[in-house]
A and B are shown apart, each in its own frame.
Chain A
Amino acid sequence: MLNVENATIRFGGLTAVSDLTMTVGEGEIVGLIGPNGAGKTTAFNMITGVYRPTEGAIAFNGVDITRLAPHRITALGLARTFQNIRLFREMTVLENVMVACNLRMGVHLFPSVFHTPAYLRRERGARDQALDLLDKVGLIQHADEPATSLPYGKQRRLEIVRALATKPTCLLLDEPAAGMNPNESRELMDFIHCVRDDFGISILLIEHHMQVVMGVCSRMYVLEYGITIAEGSPEKIQKDPRVIEAYLGVD
C-alpha cells in the first residue's frame, strides 16, 4: 500500500537519503533500521510530507503523495509518531487524542463556536471514540491528567494512540522504543503487534536496536549513510555481512 520509489533527498551538497525504494504491504510490520545518522528519520519526514524528496516518487494506496502537505497525507490514512515525543503540552491526555479526532470529525469554525446540534453530536462521538481508544491501550485512568505528567513509556503510548485516532491504514512509528529499558521495549513490541491485529493496519517502524525489531517485523530495510544496504527477512538481515559491518565495524 505504501510505495517509495528511488526517493532521494539532498540538503545542499549532502545527500541524506539516496535512492530509497521500499514497499509496505497490507497488514505488514516493516522495520527501517540503521546506525545513528543513517537517514531513517529523514526518510520518514520525506514520506509524511515534512520534506519533499529531490528526486523519486512516493505513492500511498495508488495516490501520489510526493508533494502533498503533511496534513493531507494524514487525511489519506498515513499517521505517524515522533522520535522526540511531541505531545500537546498544555492539554490533558483525553484532549490530546480528541485533537486527532478532529480530522475525521470535520471541524469548522462557526458550528464549533455556536455549538450547533450536529456539532454536539459529532463532539460526543469524538469523545466516545477517544475514550474507547484510551481504554483499549490502558490509559483511561489518566484521561484527565495533563499529558506531560505521564511517565515516559506511557507518553510514547499516548503518541501512538493519538496517531490511531486519525483512523490511519498505515502507521509510521519513529523509534518507539527510544529510551526504554529491555523490559519496556519488549512490552512495547507486544503492544505494536496488538495494534496491528486490533486495528488491521500496516506499520512501518524505525528502530535503532536490532534485537528489538527482530521479533516484531516480517521484513526490514537497513540504511547506512542514506544508502539501502540490505533488505529482507530478519534472519537474512542478521547474517548479512554488510549489516554486521555497519553495526559492529570490521577490521
Chain B
Amino acid sequence: MTKKTKLILSAAACVAMFAFVIVADNFFGNFNLRVFNLCAIYIILALSMNLLNGFTGLFSLGHAGFMAIGAYVCALLTMSPAQKELNFFLAPIVPVLANVQLPFIPALVIAGLVAAAFAWLIGTPVLRLRDDYLAIATLGFAEIIRVVITNLQTITNGALGLKGLPKYSTTGVVWGVAAITAAFMLALIRSAYGRSLKAVRDNEIAAQAMGIDVAHVKIVSFVLSSFFAGIGGALLGHLMTTIDPKMFVFGLTYNILLIVVLGGNGSITGSVVASFVVTIMMELLRFLDGPLNFIVFKTEGLPGLRMVVFSLLLMIVVIYRQKGLMGTKEFSWDMLAAAGRAFRKGRGDSNGGSAC
C-alpha cells in the first residue's frame, strides 16, 4: 500500500468520524448522545493515563484526584454568581470566588493548568518511587484531594457538591477536545521526545546512560498526563452538570485503568477503541444491576453486578492476553490489509484453495 493511499484512507476516516459526530449530535436521543459524549471524555482520560502508564512506564493511580481538581476549578470559574449563592447555603462561598465568571474555554484551560501544577508539586518527591510504591503514593494523593475537597466547605461546598453547572460539554466540545488530545498524543509519541519517554519505560538505567534526564522526562509526562486528566474531569463535570466528592473515588480511576489495559498499555488507537467498548458496555450491562430472573433463582437487583463482568474480563485479559487488544502497536492500514488478506486466504483454503 502506498503512502498516498494510506493518507487518503486516513483523511477519509477522519471525515467519516466527523460526519458521524454531526449525525449523532442531530439524530441521537438524549440518553444515547450522552453515552456517546461520555465515550469522548473517556478517550481523553484513557489517553492521558496511557501516556503515563503505557508510554513512560509509571504506574500511577492518581487520576481521579487530578480529575477532581479540574472539575472543581472549571465549575467554580464558570458558574454564575447567582447559581453559586444557591449552592452554598450552609456556608457562604469565599468572596474571591463569589463573583468570578469566565467563558468555558479559558476556564477549561485553567482547570487543566491547575491540575498540572498540582502534579508538578507532588511529582518531585513522588516520582522517586517506582512500580507499586508509586501506585500507592498517587492513590493516596487522590484520596487526600477527595478528603480535602469534602472539607473545604467555603470553597467547594463540601460533601454537598456543586449543582447546576452550565451545560458546556456539548458534542462539538467534547469530541473536539478528544480529537486534539489524540492528535497531541500521536504527535508526541512519534517524536524524538516520545522516544525518550519510551526509553525511560523500557530501561531506565540505559536511558540515563544515553544522556536522558530521567527525572525530568518523568515529571513532564506526569504533568502532561495530569493536565489532560484535569481537562477530562472538567468536561465530565459539565456533562453531568453536578459534581460532588463521591464522584471521584478510586472506582473512577479503575474504569480508566480498565480501558487502558484492555486497549493495550502503550497503544493510542487501542485506548480509543477500548474507550468506546467499555463506555458502551457499562450502559448496555446496566440491566445486570436490576432485578434478574435466572428461572432457577431470582435476584432483587444487585447493584454492582455489571462491574463483576468487567472484573472477569480484566482477569481473562491479564491471564490470556496481557498485551490487551493492541499491545504496544498502533492501528495501521497495512495491519487492516494484512488481516483482510489473511481472512480471504483462510476462506479460500476452506473452499478448496481456489482463491488467491
Report A's interface with B, CB cutoff 8 A. 48, 50, 69-71, 74-75, 79-80, 82, 86-91, 95, 98-103, 105, 107-109, 112-115, 119, 122-123, 126, 162-163, 165-166
Contact = CB atoms under 8 A, between A and B. Distances in A.
B213 A71 contact: yes
Interface stretch (B90-98, B105-113, B190-198, B244-252): B190-198
B211 A75 contact: yes
A78 B9 CA distance: 47
B205 A91 contact: no
Contacts of B213: 69, 71
Contacts of B328: 90
Q: Which 4 residue pairs spanning A and B have beta carbons closest together?
A: A103-B211, A112-B191, A112-B193, A74-B211
Contact of A100 (B184, B187, B202, B211): B211
Instruction: Give the secondary structure class of A's interface.
Output: helix
27 contacts: A50-B205, A70-B208, A71-B214, A74-B208, A74-B209, A82-B205, A86-B209, A90-B328, A91-B198, A99-B198, A99-B207, A100-B211, A102-B192, A105-B192, A107-B192, A109-B188, A109-B220, A109-B224, A112-B191, A112-B192, A113-B184, A113-B193, A122-B192, A162-B210, A163-B210, A166-B210, A166-B211
Interface residues of B, number: 28
B195 A91 contact: yes
A91 B209 contact: no
Interface of B: 184, 187-188, 191-196, 198-199, 201-203, 205-214, 220, 224, 266, 328
A123 B193 CA distance: 11
B348 to A, nearest CB: 30
Given A99-B195, A109-B220, A114-B187, A89 B209 contact: no
Contacts of B211: 71, 74-75, 100, 102-103, 166
A115 B187 CA distance: 8
B203 A99 contact: no
A82 B212 CA distance: 16
Nearest to B213: A71
